[in-house]
Structure 1
């Protein structure tokens, strides 16, 4: 793989592909020839090492939200908030006046429980959190679970646990489908893993002047919109989630052209139960779900297409996050799905985000009698 050099504060290692950056203002806009300022977060741009990682091994996960259930006031971490607004009745809360960096262990436990209950929480004015850097990001994420290392994405040099999304006037290291009429692509992060993520933290280091919002949907509400007999039918089904297409996307030369762990496929229930709240949620997504186990090909495709269309069109289940500097967003991948909106490309502005992704438990079937086996799909399928 060819080696290039970062124009910024950090040099690439010889075995890495990195970015050449244009000078930008604080919000990510380009300054042109009038002002040549170094990019403030150049040390956090995508780095693509040639390291190889072994397969992930199972681990015991205890959700910190369980500890918060024993607290006399599980929402006391919000006591000093200046404003707490529900974005929609069933999904999303926006919080002002609480600094994430001030939360102790109890506060982080309560946060995990609140994110599980609301699906999505948006914290504004979190500049201190963002500017503490990757060592702090790792310490923060490890409170909530084992940190996932993405097999194909870029990360800050030396910090593979920090997943980065990046697009500017010259390059894109996002997973994008360029021949589609829309950039809306609902997914739950790396659902192909045996133990996919739970509580996830994401923020932007640079953003376009307008656009680049993120859509979220409640998979709890998506499920509840269906008829009871159909829900019972879905509870008896399991599906294959695959990382093959994502790996092939990188192998084709896109997104850094790096695959550091062999791609995997695992079988998960179509309807999962949250271990802390007990809520049941639909667990399929267009990006990674490939086939319903035990059904004929046409049957599987018909049901999955119906469910994907239901997710796409359910505006009453959705919330939209508009980014502003200092915003940090947390969501629970077990009960939500999301999609970036790539509507800012013509502006040539930078959008640079970082994701902290702790893994959680293996998905728990809403139907306790559903046998998932070892999670490996039958090779004959």
Structure 2
């Protein structure tokens, strides 16, 4: 287990200030403020108290980690029986949100799954790309139990900058506190909060099967968009697909860390830049998917800037405009959303103005290094 966080929540919780320059980075995790009002979270300012105060974010500057070391990942989706009998019993209710991406499941308790059920979960999510499981007990489990469940799917990723529950740096928190109005400043400079990305794609071994569960939510708003990056690849012509095969693009964590530090956040590890194939192969399904995103991808290896910018912009626009291979997940109490970070992109939406709290926790198992199989 990584070292425990020791930051104490005081009247206003914030990491030590280093730079005063406010910074906005596109991905929602960096839009969220790195401070919150203790009184608001305790319900003393007209808003309800936080339902899960032990999940409120802390930033411990003593958390310093060495660069991530390579590890051998085994994808349990390879072993998943596609009858899904251990995952989806006859009593479950399964509703597909769209033909190509997104499913809602009721009547299944993830925390009760056997190893066979977990294998099927990995395969099912790889097939459906994102699955919203309703009526879950994740938020009410001890954090250590939720982490034990997630650890079955890979090594836990510790985010370089984000807030985490005290003592559990492996849990990434998405938190916009009660009464927070920082989005108003953001929209003075931007017209939209949509920011498509694949989480921490700059790591040598980015996440695979990923879990995000709701702790607190506004009455309406704060939905999450998901895109099927495998279908985005399939929509391209064979000639265009052939042009992409063998190309690599760099993914950078430098800007995300810089934006966080500029807002006074911590830096747990030095940022990295990694080259990954633009088209990657899923180890369980064999599907090929586009693996570039405007938040972290910087350029195509071996191309001149104008050439790289032109090609990447086409791919970004292709994904952003592809409403017919996207799904919108609405949050409700007790929801755990599971997606495959290798074959999807997502974006949270900042579209509510009530000042109500939005609080979620993410468990982020790392997977294999991206690769492309020969055509």
Category of TM-score, reference length = shorter chain: 0.7 to 0.9
- Alpha-carbon distance in 2 for matches of 1:272, 1:335: 8
Mapping 1:207-246, distance limit 5 Å:
207-246=217-256
Is residue 363 of structure 1 aligned with residue 370 of structure 2?
yes
Deviations 1:196-227 (A, max 9, x none): 00000001100011100000000011111111
Alpha-carbon separation, structure 2, partners of 1:14 and 1:190? 24
RMSD: 2.5
Deviations 1:170-191 (A, max 9, x none): 3769xx7873211000000000
Deviation at 1:74, TM superposition (A): 3.6
Which of 325, 330, 338 is 2:346 aligned to? 338
* 1:178–1:14 CA distance, 2 compared to 1 (3 A): closer
Structure 1 residue 104: Cα displacement: 1.3
Contact 2:228–2:344 (Cα < 8 Å) also in 1? yes
Structure 1 contact 52–261 (Cα < 8 Å) conserved: yes
Alpha-carbon deviation of 1:102?
1.4
Residue of 343, 351, 359 corresponding to 2:358: 351
Which structure is higher in RCO with an 8 Å CA cutoff and minimum separation 6? 2
Change in Cα spacing, 1:178 to 1:283, as seen in structure 2 (3 Å) is farther
Structure 1 regions of 5+ residues with no counterpart? 369-381
**Counterparts of 1:72 and 1:199, CA distance in 2:** 17
Could you state the TM-score of these two structures normalised by the residue count of structure 1? 0.86
Q: Deviations over 1:205-252 (max 9, x none)?
A: 000111000000000111111111000111121000000110110121
Q: For residues 42-71 of structure 1, give each alpha carbon's deviation from its aligned partner in whole angstroms, at most 9, with x where no partner exists.
A: 111111001211000000000111222xx4
The answer for unaligned runs of 5 or more in structure 2 is: 1-6, 18-33
Residue 6 to residue 103, structure 1, CA distance change in 2 (3 Å) = farther
Deviation of 1:20 (Å): 2.8
What corresponds to 1:119 in structure 2? 129
Tell me, in whole angstroms, the C-alpha distance in 2 between the residues paired with 1:318 and 1:275.
22
Counterpart CA distance in 2 for 1:132 and 1:359 is: 22
- Asked whether the equivalents of residues 12 and 157 of structure 1 are also in contact (C-alpha less than 8 Å), the reply is no
Equivalenced residues, count: 349
Deviations 1:337-357 (A, max 9, x none): 00000111x211100110000
1:6 deviates by 4.2
Q: CA deviation at 1:7?
A: 6.7
Q: What TM-score does the superposition give when structure 2 sets the normalisation length?
A: 0.87
**Would the alpha carbon gap of residues 31 and 66 (structure 1) be closer, same or farther in structure 2, given more than 3 Å must change?**
same
Question: What is the aligned partner in structure 1 of residue 65 from structure 2?
Answer: 53
Distance 1:12 1:152, change over 3 A: closer
- 1:179 aligns to what? 189
Given that 1:271 and 1:366 are in contact with CA atoms closer than 8 Å, whether structure 2 keeps it comes out as no
Q: Is the 8 A contact 2:15 2:265 kept in 1?
A: no
What does 1:76-95 align with in structure 2 at a 5 Å threshold? 76-95=86-105
